[in-house]
Amino acid sequence: GALGSLATRLARSSDVFGRDGQPASRTVNFIAAHDGMALADIVAYERKHNEANGEQNRDGHNDNLSWNNGAEGETDETAIGEARFNDQCALLATLFASR
């Protein structure tokens, strides 16, 4: 199930990276990268919004695995802001727990 899959990923994904005599410690765990969304954007946008930079939204990839918690972009709704904060904390906790 999902919990077993999460445990495997947190424990270095040896099913993926521990093959061919290579140690599973060669993994890199990350949430955001230079060519994707920032952590705050991952929980605030369902899709990228790069229209203003002159690239007509063609730059960056479209597979961000992001969610907006009920409103696309900035919002003054307290419940959505709290949900976004909680999601960011959960993502960071998962990252910090990974090896």
| pLDDT range class, residue 98, cuts 50, 70, 90 | confident
Same domain, 11 and 58: no
Same domain, 75 and 47: yes
More confident residue, 14 or 30: 30
Count the domains in the chain: 2
* Rounded alpha-carbon distances, angstroms, from residue 85 to 19, 21, 35, 40: 37, 40, 22, 8
Where in the sequence is the domain holding 49, given as residue range(s)? 31-99
| pLDDT range class, residue 15, cuts 50, 70, 90 | confident
Q: What does the pLDDT look like over 73-96, one tens digit per residue? A: 999 999 999 999 999 999 999 999
pTM value is 0.77
